[in-house]
Every structure is written in C-alpha cells, then in structure tokens.
Structure 1
C-alpha cells in the first residue's frame, strides 16, 4: 500500500536528516491518499494502527496523522491501548501512547512547533 510505503520513507528521511519535521511532505502525501479515498477509512485506520504496532516508523508520523485526521475510532483505540499499557506495558509504550493520545488535542503543541508546515497551510 502506498500509504505504508510513504510512512517508511518518512521514517528513513528522519533517520537520514535527524529532523522530525522532514516527515511533513510524506505525511501530506499520506493524508492526501486518505482524502482521495474516503471509502477506505477503515483500511487506513487499520494501517495506522499496524504502523504503530510494527514499531518500525517514526513515532511523530502516527501523531501527526492522528492530529490531522481526528478520527474518533483511532482516538478510542489508542486510548484503550494506553490504559492497557499503563497496567501491563513497557515504559516506552506508555510514554509513546500518551503522546499519541495527546496528539488528538486541538491545541497540540507539536502542530505549532514541529509540524507547522502542514498545519499552517
């Protein structure tokens, strides 16, 4: 799926540059795919969760997508995963899932800091 390929390319670019905001063009492409294919919402939702569970993509990519999309089912699923991680999960999962859930906030600070190129267009 081109969506997931873009996610992996974004992660490689962050690794290459050391700059988290370099994911913006890739995420823009990912979000454009979603906008062009609204009937595939559930497939894109599953792809985002698959990317998170793979732990092979840049964490900020998941956060940016969640903030831009504001899909209730994604927020619910990540919030449930956070509750479970707080009970049984490794510390890294708790920290990261907390940041993903925070990304759904309308005043998410990273939208103004790291990802302003996307959110200020």
Structure 2
C-alpha cells in the first residue's frame, strides 16, 4: 500500500482483459499489493468505466473481443494523459514496439512472472 503523509492511499487499477484466469491472477497479485482492482472484459466496457472513474494504472490486454488494446492506447493518452498504461500480450510479440510507440508506458509479454508484474507496476506508480 502506498502512503501519503502517514495516511493510507489506495491505488486504483483497471484491468482490461477478457481471459478469466488471467483476470483472476492479475487481481490477486495486485490486491496483495494493497491496490483497489477493477476489471472489465472489453474496450467498450473500459470506456464506460473511465467515464465514471480514473484509475492510476490500466493493465491492458492487446486482443479483446471488440478490438485491439494497441488501438485503444491513443484514445487513453488523449483523454486521460495521467493514467499509466501497462500493456500485456501473449500472442503478438511484435506488438511491444507498436504499443510503446503509441504511448504505453511499459509492456509485458505473457507469460510473465509475479516479480515482473510487481516490478513494472511499482516503477510506473513511483
């Protein structure tokens, strides 16, 4: 948990991922770090969520039922420039360069380790 002036500060994270097992794993790992984790399964659900709340971090999968996460990055950067983006993908290794060029703050290839996830999240939020 992150602390500010001695007070607990919960970091909000939005996971945009359509695979149930991966969602559960990400939620468990981030929750153990004291983060408040919300989860949606599509880009349209992510847009709707962001109209109501702005997390500090979005963990964004690339292949989603209604489009590619890479294509969503430009929208996120234009509308919510303060939100950090951690892109994850297991299919398109070539997506790494495109994601980073488009504005993702960091990229993890699936499968990744618990340490890789925690290190990436920590470096983005600190």
TM-score range, shorter chain: 0.3 to 0.5
More strand by share: 2
More helix by share: 1
State TM-score, norm by structure 2: 0.36
State TM-score, norm by structure 1: 0.37
